[in-house]
A and B are shown apart, each in its own frame.
Chain A
Amino acid sequence: MSGVDRPATTGVTPDAWRPRADVTPARLGLGRAGSGQPTRAVLDFALDHARARDAVLAAPDEAALAASLAPLELDSVTVESAAPDRATYLRRPDFGRRLSRNARTLLAARPRQPCDVLLIVADGLSAAAVMAQAPRVLAALVPQLQDRGMTLGPLIIARQARVALGDEIGSIMGARLVVMLVGERPGLSAADSLGAYLTFGPKPGLTDAGRNCVSNIRDAGLTPEAAATTLFWLIERSMALGISGITLKDESPTGFCSSSNAIANSPALET
């Protein structure tokens, strides 16, 4: 929630309490102007909605993203889904789940170098989330994977992407496992929340039952660094057991992973 400080206005009937802010983030104690919300509450809400809308509609700043990912010293490849623009992307989730013809050709033309883990950074429904959280997750995760001797494919930057796009990309690239970092649908209280989906044996046609998800990655939720810890734990287990999804139970120290059931029940995660 945003707070632009303004002096108290006349005409507002205050509520008789001030709920403690640590009890709930819900918009309580707004007071009322007649039966309506006071000006301040209406404008705060509009401000938060504007942030969320911009997060959905904006494209990530790819130059800035590349600069913040540069320290990882990974090759990177940019691809786009079959959704040509944002309006189509929002209407046609099926397009966002498969590559454009150009992107498919581009990936297929690369020398085939199978890897253990393929990392994908995808815009999803929040460019703000990708910009703010993805570099930090990767900065914490990549060294752990490298230290454990896992081979990494090139870093894939995916535009107009849904989670299942990772299945096609991972399959073409010969990856044993795909980790997709994707912007979650913004809420009013957080427009920059990132989700991470782990899929073992990626191939087109998989369902969410085959994935594990770490969600709500942001400083006020699960910090990017804590998310990297959880992801590393999951990746090791997944590689050792050769599975992901509902059969890979969350016994991680942080316990922030969910399998498909939780994914299905979580509206912010649009797969």
Chain B
Amino acid sequence: MSYRFSLGGQTWAFADLKDLLAKATPRRSGDMLAGIAAGSALEQAAAQNCLADVPLRTFLVQSVIPYEEDDVTRLIVDGHDEVAFAPVAHLCVGDFRDWLLSDEATGPALAALAAGLTPEMVAATAKIMRNQDLIQVAKKVEVVTRFRNTVGLRGTMAVRIQPNHPTDDPRGILASTLEGLCYGCGDAVIGVNPASDAPAAVAAIVRLLDELIERYHIPTQSCVLTHATTAIGLIENGVPLDLVFQSVAGTEAANASFGVTLALLKEAHEAGRSLQRGTVGQNVMYFETGQGSALSADAHHGVDQQTCEARAYAVCRAFSPFLVNTVVGFIGPEYLYDGKQIVRAGLEDHFCGKLMGLPIGCDVCYTNHAEADQNDMDVLLTLLGAAGVNFVMGVPGADDVMLNYQSTSFHDQLYLRDLLGLKRAPEFAAWLADTGITDAGGRLFAPGGPHPFLQDMRALLA
């Protein structure tokens, strides 16, 4: 079904819902690369106007990728909760935006609505929202998950320590991890991207982090970001895995390019839960996503990258994840060209994830061939802090020496805590205070305390 919008004697036509969504999307290089972006600013504005009049119910009857062709579409359609949807079922996209901004849309109301929203509804709404709207609405939603601590409580922000090393040297990984802990990071996860995907190498890192967490009774969890099939194999072999990682995307074909199916994710989820390693909860999955992944796998079906990304969240939410991380600037300038596009995408992803009920965090990041720098990251980090992001990355000096890109540093999260008064996961905050890394209020002490952890750390890092 085609869509039309008349503007000053000119009629703009959009072939179908996915064409309308793509043309209404704020400008970004990936949609231009795919050849689906609006051809002019006026066409984009016309598409936004047209999209605002589309009833939310339309998204339940018109799929951007056919039901028969794509298991993510089937997951979305079959999993839709009509009862949860009822309060907004009569609204069109534009009215839904107004409602989201209104006092009626409280945190509990939005939480109850999540299962009634499809990714396409949420993505469409994001396309007619300004950055401040994306921040304001996301801020209302509290998504709390639990494993060995509690992440996502209002007024808190967690941090993943990302202690990557170019050759997986355990001393190097440990050095970055210990420094991260001493900067009060690590409540989201201690998560290593391994240089080698060999199961034995992955297992060695898992054991290293497990020993560290056990030895000092740190209320946190580890993850080695290896393929789900590898994780399943390690679990079968008794390796003490905490969180199970997988990159996911918003179409069946893009997931196939990652070597995953929904059935495999289900198997990985069950394998992770079987270990019962969480102490305060059993959210065991750690997913990563990012706009552009479907296009880069030539698996986007002509759907814009922001909508594809929101569809990836439908995949995530089927497995009650502990963390979902949009790695927003990692993919490069052919998808998000500059700081402005990266900032926008980060806010969109966070908004969409939160509305869909996900514990979403963000790797605020860029590569050296993008038109971006640390100043752009400061902007996005600050905005996401204001929007109530569940977690961000802590990379030594913001420089990932294994993946060769820049993220946010141990210092950056301190800045945000100082600026916005954000606390850590409560169990982890208590441990930091007990250990003498922070005072009771969460402020870092200058290192030098008597706790054995700090003495060991100095010995290890000497």
Segment touching A, from B67-75, B152-160, B403-411: B403-411
Instruction: Determine whether A24 belongs to the interface, using a CB cutoff of 8 Å to chain B.
Output: yes
Residues of chain B within 8 A (CB-CB) of A17 are 179, 447, 457-458, 461-462
Taking the nearest CB of chain A, how far is it from the CB of B126, in angstroms? 23
CB–CB A24/B33 < 8 A: no
B337 and A35 form a contact (CB under 8 A): no
A90 x B330 contact (CB < 8 A) = no
| Complex contacts, A24 vs chain B, CB 8 Å | 165, 169, 171-173, 175-176, 401
CA distance A157 to B172 in the complex (A): 39
> Shortest 8 CB-CB distances between A and B: which pairs?
A27-B397, A187-B404, A24-B172, A16-B447, A35-B414, A52-B368, A26-B396, A17-B461
In the bound complex, how far is the Cα of B337 from the Cα of A25, in angstroms? 28
Do the beta carbons of B179 and A28 come within 8 Å of each other? yes
A94 at the interface (CB under 8 A from B): yes
Query: Which listed residue, B179, B414, B447, touches A19 by the CB 8 Å rule?
Result: B179
Q: Mark B17-36, 1 if CB is under 8 A from A, else 0.
A: 00000000000010011000
Q: Please state if A185 and B367 are interface contacts (CB–CB under 8 Å).
A: yes
In-complex Cβ contact of B368 among A27, A37, A56, A94 (8 A) = A56
Contacts of A8 in B (CB 8 A): none
Q: CB-CB < 8 A to A189: which residues of B?
A: 399, 401, 404
Q: Which residue of B has the minimal Cβ distance to A261?
A: B197
Bound Cα distance from A189 to B399, whole angstroms? 9
Residues of A within 8 A of B461 (CB): 17-20, 23, 28-29
B404 touches which of A27, A56, A94, A267 (Cβ 8 Å): A267
Instruction: Establish whether residues A32 and B397, one from each chain, have CB atoms under 8 Å apart when the complex forms.
Output: no
A265 is an interface residue with CB less than 8 A from chain B = yes
Nearest A residue (CB) for B297:
A264
A188 at the interface (CB under 8 A from B): yes
B80: Cβ under 8 A from any A Cβ: no
Q: Which chain A residues lie closer than 8 Å to B337 at the CB level?
A: 90-91
Q: Interface digits, B161-200 against A, CB 8 Å rule (1 contact, 0 not)?
A: 0011110010111011001001000000000000001000
A-B contact count (CB 8 A): 141
Check B369 against A125 for contact (C-beta < 8 Å): yes
Majority DSSP secondary structure for residues of A touching B:
loop
Interface residue A203 (Cβ < 8 Å from any Cβ of B): no
CB <8 Å contact, A23 and B182: no
- Report whether A91 and B401 are in contact in the complex, using a CB–CB cutoff of 8 Å: no
Q: Is A69 an interface residue (CB 8 A)?
A: no
Residues of B within 8 A of A188 (CB): 368, 399, 401, 404, 406
Q: CA A268 – CA B368 in complex, angstroms?
A: 10
CA–CA, A173 to B35, complex, Å?
31
Q: Give the CA-CA distance A90 to B418 in the complex, in Å.
A: 37
- Contacting residue for A49 out of B332, B374, B411, CB 8 A: B374
B415 within 8 A of A: yes
Indicate if B81 sits at the interface (CB-CB under 8 A): no
CB distance from B302 to the nearest CB of A (A): 16
Task: Provide 25 A-B residue pairs closer than 8 Å at the C-beta atoms, listed in order of the A residue.
Answer: A15-B447, A16-B448, A17-B458, A19-B179, A20-B461, A20-B462, A23-B169, A23-B175, A24-B176, A25-B401, A27-B399, A28-B461, A32-B411, A37-B409, A41-B397, A90-B337, A91-B33, A91-B334, A92-B334, A93-B334, A94-B33, A185-B368, A185-B404, A187-B399, A188-B401
Q: How far, in Å, is A242 (CB) from chain B's closest CB?
A: 27
Asked if B333 is an interface residue, CB under 8 A from chain A, the answer is yes
Q: Are A187 and B405 in contact (CB under 8 A)?
A: yes
- Asked if B15 lies at the interface with its beta carbon under 8 angstroms from chain A, I say no
